[in-house]
A and B are shown apart, each in its own frame.
Chain A
């Protein structure tokens, strides 16, 4: 019962945050609404017995990534942030048809009695806690873990190189 309430609250608010991000007139407004959506996603992760992911969602997404977005928005001051809510003619039909189709399909499945029984089994004790995820990460997925750190290193070097690029035309 309480799970249902939290799911509809967090899920509804996350969807609201996403929709407001898409229709927001200003880039700063979109970023703030996206942070709101990510915080609600953290709530959904917690509900899915994934406390470690919930914490990381707040730290990495709502914290680091969105602060980077806001930083760049503040740096690119001026008319570039002006709102253009004028949909391009070519893309109006998919933009209307996709949400309608998605709503129709999910509504048909949910109202048709699908997925009413909850999850297959209760989550095992300690499921999703940091030590369980770390045990997998440093054992079965060690190679992926090392490779993703290389990806992050390359991204750091690339971002610094782009930032330090010499003024080519001036």
Chain B
């Protein structure tokens, strides 16, 4: 079977769902961040696959934007995480419920 768009979409879907399951089940904020990066990566794969399908490099530009946003998100998120750890001595999302109570 020749590899086509559908294979990439199926793979990206599987990877996205893996990240989603991680976000739903893990309680460690660091690992939650990593699962979000995994989901972003699956979206990048879809962009590149559609770009290849239509022979238009615009998808590559969108992936570059996604890289930049992921880098910004990781930098800010981890800085906030370090600050939370300094104040609360925990990175478990179940312990960070102040806004809910």
**A interface list, Cβ under 8 A from B:** 3-4, 7, 11, 14-15, 18-19, 21-22, 24, 27, 30-31, 34, 37-38, 41, 44-45, 48-50, 52-53, 56-57, 60-61, 64-65, 68-69, 72-73, 75-76, 80-81, 83-88, 91-92, 94-95, 98-99, 102-103, 105-106, 109-110, 114-121, 123-124, 127-128, 132-133, 136-137, 140-141, 144, 148-149, 151-152, 154-156, 158-159, 162-163, 165, 168-169
Picked from B22, B25, B85, the residue with its CB within 8 Å of the CB of A88 is B25
Distance to closest chain B CB from A152 (angstroms): 6
**Given A22-B22, A128-B60, A72-B55 contact (CB < 8 Å):** no
**Given A22-B18, A152-B71, A106-B10 contact (CB < 8 Å):** yes
The reply to whether B69 and A148 form a contact with Cβ atoms under 8 Å apart is: yes
Q: Tell me the bound Cα distance from A170 to B96 in angstroms.
A: 20
Contacts of A132 in B (CB 8 A): 57, 60
Interface size on B, residues (CB 8 A): 72
Contacts of B68 in A (CB 8 A): 148-149, 151-152
Q: Is the interface of B mostly helix, strand, loop or mixed?
A: helix
The reply to whether A15 and B14 form a contact with Cβ atoms under 8 Å apart is: yes
The reply to whether B75 and A68 form a contact with Cβ atoms under 8 Å apart is: yes
Q: Scoring B residues 65 to 83 as 1 if CB is less than 8 Å from chain A, else 0, what string do you get?
A: 1011111111110111111
**B interface list, Cβ under 8 A from A:** 1-11, 13-15, 17-22, 24-28, 30-31, 33-35, 37-38, 41, 44-45, 48-49, 51-55, 57-58, 60-61, 63-65, 67-76, 78-83, 85, 87, 89-92, 94
